[in-house]
Structure 1
Amino acid sequence: MYVILVYDICGDEGGQRVLNKTFKICKKYLNHIQNSVFEGEISEPQILNLKYELNKYIRKDIDSVILFKSRNERWLKKEFWANVEDKTDNFL
């Protein structure tokens, strides 16, 4: 299954710790494409693991995580309207 995950972490006193943990967990399962946005192919069991790990840190009353699911990447049309960051540009 192809997914896009976005999150919004409240910038309060404990927010930076939650933000760091959320980023690291998402990076284990998906490709980081922009600030708080990740995408990639992932199985249902992996989604359950991802959700389980994130639930340890996400504060349900002030933080937000949204997972968009699609059967396959080919069913999703992406358009880049501005700067397209090349994730390979930092290779030597």
Structure 2
Amino acid sequence: MYILITYDVSTKDKNGAKRLRQVAKYCQNYGQRIQNSVFKCKIENYMLPSIENDLKNLMDLKKDNIKIFKLGKNIDSKIISLGKNTEYDIEDILIF
């Protein structure tokens, strides 16, 4: 399944900046950054509760907002992208 993770982490204090880095780093483990605070991730269904729980533990529930959108299986035909495309094929083999 594909999911889209979006987040707004309050960076008004030092702890907020740290949380922002932690959330971004966590999301990079599961997918690719589409925009600054947006990640497209391909996961197995069983992984979603764990991801939700981990993100809850990283965020400040009173200051931050994270949304997870379940996109289903075949999302590429449903996405309209305008401008420069910076995505890589998430199905492809990657070498960093």
TM-score, with normalisation over the residues of structure 2? 0.77
**% same residue:** 24
Aligned pairs (5 A) from 1:51-70: 51-70=52-71
Runs of 4+ displaced beyond 6 Å: none
Aligned residues: 89
The residue number in structure 1 matching 2:43 is 42
Q: Evaluate the alpha carbon distance shift between residue 18 and residue 8 of structure 1 in structure 2; reply closer, same or farther with a 3 A threshold.
A: same
The reply on whether 1:11 has 2:21 as its aligned counterpart is: no
- Give ranges in structure 1 of 5+ residues lacking alignment: 88-92
TM-score, with normalisation over the residues of structure 1? 0.80
Q: Evaluate the alpha carbon distance shift between residue 77 and residue 59 of structure 1 in structure 2; reply closer, same or farther with a 3 A threshold.
A: same
The residue number in structure 2 matching 1:79 is 80
Q: Evaluate the alpha carbon distance shift between residue 82 and residue 11 of structure 1 in structure 2; reply closer, same or farther with a 3 A threshold.
A: same
Say if 2:31 and 2:39, in contact at 8 Å, map to a contact too.
yes
Residues in 1 aligned to 2:25 and 2:18: alpha-carbon distance in whole angstroms: 11
Residues in 1 aligned to 2:22 and 2:56: alpha-carbon distance in whole angstroms: 11
Residues in 2 aligned to 1:86 and 1:5: alpha-carbon distance in whole angstroms: 15
- Give ranges in structure 2 of 5+ residues lacking alignment: 89-96
